[in-house]
Amino acid sequence: MRKLFSSESVTCGHPDKVCDQIADAILDALLEKDPSSRVACEVIAEPGRVHIMGEITSKASVDYKEIARSVIRGIGYTDEKLGFTDKCEITETIHAQSPDISMGVDSSFDEKDSSGAGDQGIMFGYAIDETEEEMPLAISLARKLTALLTEKRESGELPYLRPDGKSQVTIEYDGRDVKRIEAVVVSAQHDEEISLDKLREDIKEKIILEGLPKELIDENTKFYINPTGRFVLGGPAADTGLTGRKLIVDTYGSKAHHGGGAFSGKDPSKVDRSAAYALRNIAKSIVRSGTAREAELQIAYAIGVAKPVSLELDTFGTAKVSEEEILKVVEKHYDLRPDAIIKRFSLRNPQYLATSKTGHFGVPSYAWEKVDESFIEDLKKLV
């Protein structure tokens, strides 16, 4: 049965991603000086202005405004003609974490000498065998395109590109099997002087055809390059940005469920982040073991309670054994209390700015992307 599936990605200059990067850079700076920092940082960006807000409790003292300016410079917003630069107005309204929430995190309702979850909530982890990194193909390819937009801009190969940009890739399937790329959309912010014809020619040759597998492109693949024409004004100068508004871009490209909690700007005591990382690791290990071709896990927590209140696995009919058997092996290898997750993946180390640039999953260097070989071996014994 023929079906189409699409995923999108955005560059680091997208207004929402500007906010994610500032929030995670602040988190990294605090964790570097005080690993026990409690952080829930939110950022808004608009023409000429950034506002930093949220709950932060830390022994560390950092310059929030200078961190934000450094991130904005690093992205490439330094020229006044862009309408938004590192010289923009920056305001902040930071307050400490609620003592009621802090009490629930510091001591668990159900576990002595263990921290509770920072909030109630539902998280998901996912993996599929479509790519080497066990990520859905559409989001993997869409990210390659936006990564190339940034790479070609920063290297000077396409010097007329500006920091903002988007991509979208549509995959055609025959049942579960990938057949071809149906459509590609790239919208790239650019200098005013470049002609649309030149832009479209370069984007097709140096971004799309260089970044996508040639064997999946055919004479019927459709290319939409800056389909509305000019894209001169972009980033926060063109649209308000907000932390946590690109959750699907950051995760699995809508191939899997999402609990709705943002990642960026949150320290690992927030299970929105840490539990999602743990479940990705489990799902990836299940697929890597060959026990199932596809795996999605759902977990739920109660605030102040260390142990999850539920854990569910769906392999979409691809498992070689029952999901109940797989979950028994999961429970043997994984302690899913927040403290245990944080320790397992060293989540109190500053490392989060990178995730807000590249997406949180599918990057081999991330600790939660490194599979547990003993877990995989035990899964193989089931088959």
Tens of pLDDT along 265-279?
999 999 999 999 999
Q: Please give the single-letter amino acid code of residue 31.
A: L
**What pLDDT sits at residue 179?**
97
pLDDT tens for each residue of 204-253: 999 999 999 999 999 999 999 999 999 999 999 999 999 999 999 999 99
* Torsion on CA atoms 127, 275, 262, 268, rounded to nearest 10: -130
pLDDT of residue 360: 98
**Which residues have a Cβ under 8 Å from the Cβ of 268 and sit 6 or more positions away?**
274, 338, 341, 342, 347, 348
Average pLDDT over residues 370-383: 95
Please give the pLDDT value at position 141.
98
- Other Cβ atoms less than 10 A from the Cβ of 3: the count is 11
Phi-psi region for residue 380, left (φ > 0), alpha (ψ -120 to 50) or beta?
A: alpha
Q: Which tens digit of pLDDT belongs to each residue from 287-322?
A: 999 999 999 999 999 988 899 999 999 999 999 999
**pTM of model > 0.75:** yes
Q: Is 106's pLDDT higher than 80?
A: no
To 5 degrees, how large is the angle CA 59–CA 29–CA 270? 75
Going along the chain from its start, the domains and CATH numbers come out as 2-9+137-232 (3.30.300.10), 121-130+270-380 (3.30.300.10)
Q: For the residues 130-147, what does the mean pLDDT come to?
A: 98
